[in-house]
Structure 1
Amino acid sequence: MTAETDVPEAGTAERRSRWRDRSELGVSALLLVLGVLVLSDALTMDVDLTQRGPVGPRTVPVVVGAGLLVVAALLAVDVLRGGRGQAETGEDIDLSEPADWRTVLLLAGVFLGSAVLIDPLGFPAAGALLFWGAAYALGSRRIDRDPLIAAVLSLTTYAVFDKLLGVPLPGGPLMGVL
């Protein structure tokens, strides 16, 4: 190779290295986009203006959106000043092992199945299937215990959200019987 062909490769490597050193700017950009999305949704939300008290339904989304924008700006400034995140040392992962796609696909199937079944079966039944399926996908094989725990978790979640917090969840045909 001639010296002329080495120059563009060196320039390209230098550009790659510069972007690699500032890869956290991608996280900052993602936080910026999320903050703008949350704020735009919060500010265009159709709400009843006859609320009681100073805190309305827009308050939390506006605070979260503004927080995302502040964190994005602080992260960008830190990265541009030379700051770098520390490598994760707490995980005990063998990177030479392949990914466990069976578990990932089982979890995705259980989640999608629950989303499809929530309207016809209601939250308590679909939630119990979600909890039980997730436990099975993650390795639990206690058929005597897992369905009972899943049912208790699902019914408790339903009761807290629907009855105590006033967040309506579909009860399904079983809630008419209970």
Structure 2
Amino acid sequence: MTTVTKPERRSWLRDHSELGICALLVVLGVLVLTDALRIPTDFAQRGPVGPKAVPILVGSLLLLVAALLARDVLRGGKGEAEAGEDVDLSAPADWRTVLLLCGAFLANAVLIGVVGFPISGAILFWGAAYALGSRNLVRDPLLAAGLSIFTFVVFNNLLGVPLPGGPLMEVF
């Protein structure tokens, strides 16, 4: 005697679970747009683009992506299942790396007001590279210093976003 099993009936929401991401994108888009529209217009404006432009663009794009994704899901589109990586899920977390990264970020937060962004940023970039496994004692600090100074010049001089310069402020 054979037993006949009923085919598993899946619910409509389970088959369209990507709509949850659409809902999240809509909520984020509306939040960004409402916050952007509440930005006071008496901000000092540098150049032709005001402080509302980028948040309004980001919020609108979030809503557009949510609508396009919802349309795709409702038309039968499905996300690809994860192909998997060579990750052993039973392996313990690498807390040493996490703690080293946290230490680099905390050092940056503590030092940025004292020594300025170029020096604290170099410590942050070098600390992150070290925590993630790079051990070149000549290349890493030089790249970190170069990247930090480049970032400082771009933000401070080109974009007009003042960063604390510390003792290097007179140089740039």
TM-score, normalised by the number of residues in structure 2: 0.78
1:169 alignment partner, SS class: coil
Q: 1:61-80 to 2 correspondence within 5 Å? A: 61-80=55-74
The two structures, once aligned, show a CA RMSD in angstroms of 2.8
- Residue 78 of structure 1: how far off its partner (Å): 2.5
Which among 105, 110, 117 is matched to residue 111 of structure 1?
105
The aligned counterpart of 1:93 is 86
Q: 1:12-51 to 2 correspondence within 5 Å? A: 18-48=12-42
- Residues 162 and 97 from structure 1, CA distance in 2 versus in 1: closer, same or farther, beyond 3 angstroms? same
Deviation string, structure 1 residues 53-100 (Cα, Å, up to 9, x no partner):
8643322221211110121122223323432111344x6432445243
- Residues 50 and 117 from structure 1, CA distance in 2 versus in 1: closer, same or farther, beyond 3 angstroms? closer
Q: 1:159-174 to 2 correspondence within 5 Å? A: 159-172=153-166, 174=167
Structure 1 letter corresponding to 2:77:
G
User: Greater CA deviation, 152-161 or 99-108?
Assistant: 99-108
- Residues 142 and 49 from structure 1, CA distance in 2 versus in 1: closer, same or farther, beyond 3 angstroms? closer
The aligned counterpart of 2:3 is none
TM-score, normalised by the number of residues in structure 1: 0.76
- Residue 20 of structure 1: how far off its partner (Å): 4.0
Structure 2's unaligned 5+ residue stretches are: 1-5
How many residues are aligned here?
A: 164
* Aligned mates of 2:17, 2:114 — CA distance in 1: 45
- Residue 19 of structure 1: how far off its partner (Å): 4.3
The aligned counterpart of 1:3 is none
Structure 1's unaligned 5+ residue stretches are: 1-9
- Residues 107 and 164 from structure 1, CA distance in 2 versus in 1: closer, same or farther, beyond 3 angstroms? same
* Aligned mates of 2:49, 2:124 — CA distance in 1: 34
- Residue 107 of structure 1: how far off its partner (Å): 1.9
- Residues 53 and 108 from structure 1, CA distance in 2 versus in 1: closer, same or farther, beyond 3 angstroms? closer
More helix by share: 1
- Residue 131 of structure 1: how far off its partner (Å): 0.3
1:45 alignment partner, SS class: coil
Contact map agreement 2:36 2:52 (CA 8 A) in 1: yes
The aligned counterpart of 2:127 is 133
- Residue 24 of structure 1: how far off its partner (Å): 1.7
Identity, % of aligned positions: 63
- Residues 116 and 32 from structure 1, CA distance in 2 versus in 1: closer, same or farther, beyond 3 angstroms? farther
- Residue 175 of structure 1: how far off its partner (Å): 2.1
